Amino acid sequence: MADAPVRRIAVDLSGQVALVTGASRGIGKAIALALGRSGATVACVARNLEKLQAAAAEIAAAGGKASVHACDVADSAAAQVTMDAVMTEHKRLDVMVNNAGITKDTLLPIMSDADWDQVIATNLRSVFLFSRAAAKVMMRQRSGRIINISSVSGLMGNPGQSNYSASKAGVIGFTQTVAKELAKRKVTVNAICPGFIATEMAEALGATILEEVKKMIPAGRIGEADEIADAVLFLASDSAAYITGQVLTVDGGMTA
């Protein structure tokens, strides 16, 4: 019997502007494409300009609108320059998705200072920098959605990922605090914790390890990037206006 066709969430974000960090590949690219298909103009942010341009071309091919902004997301001045450029071009910001992330996996006794610092900077400092910049805009607008991509590793830890797990746990604490600060200005702040998702990062683990990972997941499969994008669309929609400070785990039941 053939599998039933997938029915994606339908959200109308026409007239809205979204900014997505780490939009050049993987989950970030899927999020940017989904926001574009839903009518939002998407400001795509990452380091690699060529890959950003390719992502923007896909958004345009699907009928959406996008701009590209090459940026080191962990650099404070660069983050503000990027936000200023987005505001100059698009005049507003409705959805901020902090997705940029890297891994530098190794066991704690042999982890270098650089491996720790780079992961914390990209995965956590960037969330602070772009959320701070977005908050100033959204507070003036008295509306907005900040959606931070954390990870199940921030909920339960993972051997060899003390830096990554710490950064993603930090994103959760940051989300819950900022949600309380911005709620009265009608700005919601939520986090999504993906489990194992079919991306380049997951593929780097190798087929043997991924097969073992599947055994840990009650759903019996690796998730798809589009399933994280669907969660973002929901939190960005009017239907989620009374949801803030929450952590939505999308992991096939792994942490249940």
- Domain layout of the chain by residue ranges: 17-249
* CB neighbour class for 54 (10 Å; exposed up to 12, middle 13-18, buried from 19): middle
Can 164 be counted among the known catalytic residues?
Answer: yes
Q: How much is the pLDDT for 73?
A: 98
Q: How much is the pLDDT for 2?
A: 57
Per residue in 75-104, pLDDT tens? 999 999 999 999 999 999 999 999 999 999
Sheet holding 187-194, edge to edge: 65-70, 41-46, 17-21, 95-98, 144-149, 187-194, 247-250
Confidence of residue 211 (pLDDT cuts 50, 70, 90): confident
Q: Nearest 5 degrees, angle CA 141-CA 59-CA 101?
A: 70
Confidence of residue 209 (pLDDT cuts 50, 70, 90): confident
Nearest to 234 by CA among 147, 155, 174: 147
Active-site residue among 116, 164, 174, 196?
Answer: 164
SS (H, E, C) 13-30: CCCCEEEEECCCCHHHHH
Using CA atoms in the order 97, 100, 106, 107, what is the torsion angle rounded to 10 degrees? -30
Q: Tokens for 248, please give them.
A: 């939505």
Q: Could you give the percent of the chain with pLDDT greater than 90?
A: 89
Angstrom distance (rounded) from CA 108 to CA 131: 29
Q: How far is CA 34 from the centre of its chain?
A: 12
Query: Are 19 and 87 in contact, with CB atoms under 8 Å apart?
Result: no
Nearest to 79 by CA among 144, 135, 143: 135
Which range, of 5-14, 23-32, 165-174, averages the lowest pLDDT? Answer: 5-14
Angstrom distance (rounded) from CA 113 to CA 8: 42
Instruction: Count the neighbouring beta carbons within 10 Å of the beta carbon of residue 141.
Output: 14
CATH 3.40.50.720 fits 17-249, yes or no: yes
Per residue in 31-45, pLDDT tens? 999 999 999 999 999
